[in-house]
Amino acid sequence: MHHSAHAREGRQNQLYDNGSRLVAGCVPIDKHGRRVLLVESTKNDGEWVLPKGGWENDETQEEAAARETWEEAGAIGKIVANLGEYAHKMDKRTGVPESVFIFFEMEVERVEERWPEMKKRGRRWFSYEEAKTIVSKKVMRKALEQCSLARR
């Protein structure tokens, strides 16, 4: 499976909120096992994604990312890096993306047996290499490529 690595970049440092939905999420890693925790998409059956969700501005982006990672994956840990901002689904006419994703790296300290969305979706550890192959959304693949596991 070969995807072009040359998506147009250079705009991911702007924070858009003029009509774009702001989404915060995590790349939850087990740095000792070189693994990434992914969750099942609730929209597309059989699709594995990074935990993420809408950022409400009564919390910091880090808080939103950590909260979504807890709600969707039951993982608790510390945010160790900002992996950048990524425009998703550009509107050709206006040049405004449908959403802007901001991802953080989280070193997972523990994974709870019970978590808010356990009935809605599964979670699973994948090796870093597997995670990069299995995640189909380009913005998520780019975030994975920025995390510390990418630097061997």
CA atoms in the 13 A half-sphere facing the CB of 122? 8
Per residue in 28-80, pLDDT (tens digit) is 999 899 999 999 999 888 899 999 998 877 789 999 999 999 999 999 999 99
Residue-level pLDDT at 15: 46
- Which range, 48-62, 89-103, 107-121, has the best average confidence (pLDDT)? 107-121
CATH number at residue 56: 3.90.79.10
Q: How confident is the model at residue 17 (pLDDT cuts 50, 70, 90)?
A: low
Task: Give residue 48's domain range.
Answer: 21-150
- DSSP at 73: H
Is there a domain that residue 13 lies in?
Answer: no
How high is the mean pLDDT of the chain? 87
Is there a domain that residue 11 lies in?
Answer: no
Is there a domain that residue 5 lies in?
Answer: no
Residue 104 in this model has a pLDDT that exceeds 50: yes
Residue-level pLDDT at 147: 95
Is there a domain that residue 84 lies in?
Answer: yes
Is there a domain that residue 4 lies in?
Answer: no
Residue-level pLDDT at 63: 94
Could you give phi then psi for residue 6, rounded to 5 degrees?
-110, 60
Is there a domain that residue 14 lies in?
Answer: no
Q: What's the structural domain count of the chain? A: 1
Averaged pLDDT for residues 119-141: 95
Residue-level pLDDT at 91: 85
Looking up tokens 């858009």, which residue turns up?
16
Residue 5 in this model has a pLDDT that exceeds 50: no
Could you give phi then psi for residue 129, rounded to 5 degrees?
-60, -45
pTM above 0.75, yes or no: yes
Q: How confident is the model at residue 146 (pLDDT cuts 50, 70, 90)?
A: very high
Is there a domain that residue 1 lies in?
Answer: no
Is there a domain that residue 16 lies in?
Answer: no
Contact in structure between 32 and 120 (CB atoms under 8 Å):
no
